[in-house]
Amino acid sequence: MLPPVQLVGAGVSIVFLAAFTWFFLKSRIGIAMRAVADSQQVAMAMGIDVRRYFALAWAMAGIVSALGGVVWGRCSASTTSWHWSASRSFRW
């Protein structure tokens, strides 16, 4: 049997997978992001602000990577005590 923290991690992953699938296939913003990814010039010709959607894509990537780090850290049962030994090893 899997530990509860791994089940929660799997659940969070499945929820985010479903949310991103819906977002990119059904929402107006997701469709615009896909259009920008496909052809920036055509998206600009259609009136899509390409720079705005690039910024949104980077923001979403940062949020998802932060969430992934939190879930991975909880699932691997890491602690914050390692940073003390790491910081001591870099002293002059």
Interatomic CA distance for residues 52 and 40, integer angstroms: 12
Could you read off the pLDDT of 27-84 as tens digits, one per residue?
A: 999 999 999 999 999 999 999 999 999 999 999 999 999 988 888 877 776 555 655 5
Higher pLDDT, 9 or 91: 9
What one-character-per-residue DSSP string does 51-66 give? HHHHHHHHHHHHHHHH
Report which DSSP code applies to 92: -
- Rounded to an integer, what distance in angstroms lies between the CA atom of residue 51 and that of residue 28? 16
The CB density around residue 43, as the number of other CB atoms within 10 Å, is 19
- Give per-residue pLDDT as tens, 10-21: 898 899 999 999
